[in-house]
Homo-oligomer: A and B are copies of this chain.
Amino acid sequence: MTDQIQNDQIFDVVAIGNALVDIIAEADDAFLVEQDIAKNAMNLVSAGRSGDLYDKIGPAVETSGGSAANTMTGIASLGGKAAFMGKVKEDQLGTIFRHDMHAQGVYFSTHPVPDNQHGPYAGISTGRCIILVTPDAARSMNTYLGISVEFEPQDINADILQRSQITYLEGYLFDRPAAKRAFYQATDIVKQAKKTMALTLSDLFCVERHRAEFHDLVQNHIDILFANEAEILALYQTNDFNSAIAEVRKHTGIAVVTRGEKGAVITNSDAVHEVPAAPVDKVIDTTGAGDLYAAGFLYGITHGKSLPEAGRIGAIAAAEVISHYGPRPLVKLSDLI
């Protein structure tokens, strides 16, 4: 796939998110406690902390990651047309990230930052996420955002947003001011083009950090909201799942709330659908479960499927990715549906 866009090219979904390479290693719960790592969450870490932690973990495997980027590769693997915007350095990890996007058929043309040894970006590398997988298949993430936080409004390609049915944004973007400005700029472009805006709340602690703004977003800018159970409860500061669902139905067109092995609840103004999880022989690593659920759902609704049908595709895509290590599908998802 070339990065040259064709005149008549359109996309099902374009995403803006952090461009990260994952470093996956096994760990036990005692190590998480010892290292003060919040389990099942995304912990933001500095470059120094990332390096210290890397020295302490066991042998690792590297693979391209990043939540919204994973979702776009899932859509491509399903046969959909996906694009991605996010920032990498022109270093070895950045090369790996770009390769994997292109190899999966995702349109990705954000200019990488040159890897100079002097200048404002010297010493800032492509972002990486140390993912520790415990024996219960839970993943605990430690993200050094690196150059990905330098994503800013001028990196937004308005033409791509206008060519896309849906623009999908990571809540994680709210963790940095420039990325947040880019986020709002994308929102304006999508609204003017009368296209659809989707958001994932990303992470429990991400919701805690940005609750007020997320409320505003959900009520005023977002057509499709993705969250897991912990995130939707945190957004509405309740312990009652049903009341959280009742709240979110008032505020957004479609909400897709995943609940692990309990399946997902998908709502719009007309109905609340419960969609069961797809069976998995053995859950190995839950990294990417939510990302791939979103991929299946977005593929479904951009291909004329009903909400429950789209949810079923999401469940199948999520089941594939949790049956092995790594956050991206290992088989062609289009063969599974």
Contact = CB atoms under 8 A, between A and B. Distances in A.
A152 interface: no
Nearest to A91: B92
A326 B61 contact: yes
A173 to B, nearest CB: 24
Nearest to A26: B330
A96 B117 CA distance: 20
Report copies per complex.
2
Interface stretch (A51-59, A222-230, A235-243, A288-296): A51-59
A57 B103 contact: yes
Contacts of A117: 117
Interface of A: 25, 54-55, 57-64, 73, 91-93, 96, 99-100, 102-104, 117, 125, 326, 328
Given A91-B92, A92-B92, A125-B92, A99 B60 contact: yes
A100 B58 CA distance: 7
A337 to B, nearest CB: 19
A24 B62 CA distance: 11
Given A92-B92, A99-B54, A125-B92, A64 B59 contact: yes
A61 B61 contact: yes
Contacts of A25: 103
Nearest to A116: B117
A59 B104 contact: yes
Contacts of A63: 61-62
A25 B102 CA distance: 14
A1 to B, nearest CB: 10
